[in-house]
């Protein structure tokens, strides 16, 4: 019975809309016959307004090409910031950008009650147009209630326009924008920490000083943090050409993360993540547990710049130091690359090249490389981790202190040369 009533309601509603459509169609087809004046006053005028805002240089993320006769000047200006400053200065501070998200992402719903965020942007002698395009894009494309403030940290810039002129400009914006100045050149990390310490929002977002946020950039990131306050999140980062300022969609087949030296890197999304998401690319790629690089120890906050990431206010990294009992030296990647031998060096406890991780998959991992032995008595080399165990599986016995390469099934004797101390280490950052 109830179902019947429900159907009736649906039918009636549909009918009403069909009638409205017919009416509108009739009205506008009638209007085709009207005089030109009336015609122009309606839709075309609206269309003109829309297209005008999409016509300026770089609008909709299009490339800006500098005419031949200005190329010399362009090359001169390029040197100032190592990008095409002339093109950047031609583009509106609030230029429009395409929405390159997957359709499934455009229609996704997020909780109403998301944590709010402070945006921290560090700059050093940044160009006016790129810096303010960053600021405008944040204000323009973030839900207002989620934004607490923007904190600009000036890492001892020398350019005049970044002083009083910038202060006056940001005062006119509709969002509180504060400018902190480092007394001397301190580097990105110190400047970010200074900015972070001054924030009032629940989540801290770090952005580069020359990026542009697109519509819907913020909500999914904050939604992950709402789900899990210890989440460290990072979006897909698209690319803005340094030559033409064209907006180019990036791949969703890579993910951003930290290597074991806490440098930000892009990695290909592994098959197991594709499987876990069952082909739904609107779901986040997740990493944790076994290969988790950094464990946050206190209040987690957010961030993601061009080299996107979220970081905690204070955090630490846990790793394993692998010390040989006889030589007392530590396994050290010696800064070598893939396919090269792993080395040994005096243990220094400072992380760096001695940061290894004995994972739940029983790999011995340094950054995205794993120790790999392909033949008995062969050298131990570093290869991309494949998570297939095999040549990269080592069985650690914490009693006997043996680290057995299972695949090559060696005769393990109890000599001290074959004993290893796996020590848990913590570095704060
Ligand atoms: C940018 O700002 C100008 C001036 O306020 C405005 O006319 C224009 O429509 C804006 N463009 C976009 C894409 O919002
Ligand atoms: C941010 O959210 C917290 C918790 O809901 C609230 O107390 C605070 O007032 C919010 N800040 C702003 C500026 O909205
Ligand atoms: C144990 O192995 C080491 C190195 O492979 C070798 O030099 C040593 O002689 C072996 N010791 C015994 C008791 O077999
Ligand atoms: C090192 O840490 C791992 C996991 O974090 C833990 O299971 C193990 O017991 C620790 N080992 C020592 C010696 O503390």
CATH of the domain at 416: 2.80.10.50
Asked whether residue 354 is assigned to any structural domain, the reply reads: yes
pLDDT-based confidence at residue 133 (cuts at 50, 70, 90): very high
Supply the residue whose CA is at minimum distance from atom 12 of ligand 3.
Answer: 413
Give the residues surrounding ligand 3 with Cβ less than 6 Å away: 413, 415, 417
Asked whether residue 60 is assigned to any structural domain, the reply reads: no
Q: What is the pLDDT of residue 181?
A: 98
What confidence tens digit (pLDDT) does each residue in 255-274 have?
A: 766 666 666 667 777 788 88
Contacts 24+ apart (CB under 8 A), 263-271: 264/307, 264/308, 264/309, 265/367, 265/368, 267/368, 270/387
What confidence tens digit (pLDDT) does each residue in 194-217 have?
A: 999 999 999 999 999 999 999 999
> Do 35 and 92 share a structural domain?
no
CA proximity to 399, closest of 413, 417, 420, 424: 420
Tokens of 134: 């960053």
Maximum mean pLDDT: which of 45-59, 260-274, 380-394? 380-394
> Do 235 and 97 share a structural domain?
yes
Asked whether residue 155 is assigned to any structural domain, the reply reads: yes
| Distance from the alpha carbon of residue 52 to the mean position of ligand 1, in angstroms | 10
pLDDT-based confidence at residue 363 (cuts at 50, 70, 90): very high
> Do 76 and 28 share a structural domain?
no
Domain residues for 208? 68-276
> Of 52, 53, 58, which is best to mutate to test ligand 1, by the most ligand atoms within 8 angstroms of its C-beta?
53
> Do 152 and 49 share a structural domain?
no
> Of 111, 202, 229, 301, which is best to mutate to test ligand 2, by the most ligand atoms within 8 angstroms of its C-beta?
202
| Distance from the alpha carbon of residue 424 to the mean position of ligand 4, in angstroms | 6
pLDDT-based confidence at residue 377 (cuts at 50, 70, 90): confident
Instruction: List C-alpha distances in Å: 340 to 311, 316, 335, 367, 382.
Output: 32, 29, 10, 14, 6
Asked whether residue 258 is assigned to any structural domain, the reply reads: yes
Q: What letter does residue 253 receive in the DSSP assignment?
A: T
Residue 50 to residue 57: CA distance in whole angstroms? 15
Tokens of 159: 């350019």
Residue 79 to residue 159: CA distance in whole angstroms? 15
| Distance from the alpha carbon of residue 201 to the mean position of ligand 2, in angstroms | 7
| Distance from the alpha carbon of residue 53 to the mean position of ligand 1, in angstroms | 7
pTM of the model: 0.60
Q: For residue 115, which atom of ligand 2 is closest to its CA?
A: 2
- Which of 157-161, 338-342, 375-379 shows the lowest per-residue confidence on average (mean pLDDT)? 375-379
């Amino acid at each position: 019975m109830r179902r019947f009533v429900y159907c009736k309601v649906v039918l009636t509603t549909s009918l009403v809309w069909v009638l409205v459509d017919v009416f509108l169609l009739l009205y506008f087809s009638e209007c085709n016959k009207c005089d030109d004046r009336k015609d122009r006053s309606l839709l075309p005028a609206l269309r003109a307004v829309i297209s005008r805002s999409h016509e300026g240089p770089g609008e909709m993320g299009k490339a800006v090409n500098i005419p031949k006769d200005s190329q010399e000047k362009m090359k001169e200006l390029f040197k100032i910031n190592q990008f095409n400053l002339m093109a950047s200065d031609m583009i509106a501070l609030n230029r429009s950008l395409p929405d390159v998200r997957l359709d499934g992402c455009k229609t996704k719903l997020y909780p109403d009650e998301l944590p709010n965020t402070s945006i921290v942007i560090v700059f050093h002698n940044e160009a006016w147009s790129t810096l303010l395009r960053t600021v405008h894009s944040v204000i323009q494309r973030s839900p207002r209630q989620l934004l607490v403030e923007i904190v600009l940290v000036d890492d001892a810039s020398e350019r005049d326009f970044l002083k009083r002129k910038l202060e006056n400009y940001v005062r006119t914006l509709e969002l509180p924008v504060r400018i902190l100045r480092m007394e001397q050149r301190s580097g990105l990390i110190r400047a970010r920490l200074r900015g972070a310490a001054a924030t009032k929002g629940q989540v801290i977002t770090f952005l580069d000083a020359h990026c542009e946020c697109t519509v819907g950039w913020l909500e999914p990131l904050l939604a992950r943090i709402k789900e899990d306050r210890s989440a460290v999140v990072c979006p897909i980062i698209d690319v803005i050409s340094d030559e033409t300022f064209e907006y180019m969609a990036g791949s969703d087949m890579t993910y951003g993360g930290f290597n074991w030296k806490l440098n930000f890197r892009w990695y290909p999304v592994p098959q197991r993540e594709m499987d876990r998401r069952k082909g739904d690319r609107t779901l986040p790629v997740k990493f944790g547990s076994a290969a988790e690089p950094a464990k946050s120890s206190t209040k987690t906050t957010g961030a993601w710049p061009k080299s996107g990431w979220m970081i905690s206010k204070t955090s630490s990294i846990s790793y394993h130091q692998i010390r040989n009992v006889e030589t007392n030296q530590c396994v050290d990647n010696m800064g070598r690359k893939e396919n090269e031998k792993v080395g040994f060096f005096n243990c220094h406890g400072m992380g760096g090249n001695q940061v290894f991780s004995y994972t739940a998959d029983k790999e011995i991992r340094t950054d995205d490389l794993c120790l790999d032995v392909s033949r008995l008595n062969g050298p131990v080399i570093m290869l991309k981790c494949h998570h297939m165990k095999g040549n990269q599986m080592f069985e650690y016995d914490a009693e006997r202190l043996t680290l057995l390469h299972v695949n090559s099934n060696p005769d393990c004797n109890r000599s001290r040369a074959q004993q290893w101390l796996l020590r848990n280490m913590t570095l704060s950052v």
